[in-house]
Chains A and B, each alone.
Chain A
């Protein structure tokens, strides 16, 4: 069975600080996909990034960066120079290996509520 753990329930930072959101996962599959989604106060789920298990290269997109370490089963998310608009719940999710025709679902972590204070 797969499992995603986000140990940080809530984080508060002051604007312009960097913040890292932790994600640890468990899976028996050797091929899997990891995701981060953002849920702002309005409630929708916004896709941020997808990562394949065979690609451990870290990724940077503007103020966002992701650190994927297979050895520790972690997929951490860092926001640099945080802004008030970054305040949201952030979910890490896992999807196991897929075959065409098999609609493998996402397993979500419990989310981290990030509050960025002005």
Chain B
């Protein structure tokens, strides 16, 4: 069964460093998302991506964040200068279509900023 894959599963980084979280969405899906979940809290939307550009972004997604689809398969989230409060589980998701379909999530990347 097709699935969304994320790498790495766990990343530890020092405050101020740049990190790139990687995702391979399901191959025929057109819509891509990043969500984050601070430990013990709800899942929060960060950004959506369609047709090679950002479709929507939340207020969390400030200038330190960026997304890219550098080739036909990868979808990356970059955090330029990490802060302690960026520590969270980051989920990538993809959807086949925007109409009446569900989002499939990857297994997540746990980012720990020290």
* Residues of chain A at the chain B interface (Cβ within 8 Å): 33, 35, 37, 42-47, 50, 52, 91, 93, 98-111
Contact = CB atoms under 8 A, between A and B. Distances in A.
B107 interface: yes
Interface of B: 31-33, 35, 41-45, 48-51, 55-56, 58, 89, 91, 93, 95, 97-108, 110
A106 B103 CA distance: 9
A101 B107 contact: no
Contacts of A105: 33, 35, 45, 48, 56, 58
A113 B100 CA distance: 27
A104 B44 contact: no
Main secondary structure of the interface of B (DSSP, over half): strand
Contacts of A109: 42
Contacts of A110: 41-42
A66 B29 CA distance: 27
A2 to B, nearest CB: 11
A92 to B, nearest CB: 10
A62 B91 CA distance: 28
A110 B51 CA distance: 31
11 contacts: A43-B107, A50-B102, A100-B97, A100-B98, A102-B98, A103-B32, A103-B33, A103-B48, A103-B55, A106-B35, A107-B45
Contacts of A102: 50, 55, 98
Contact of B99 (A93, A100, A111): A100
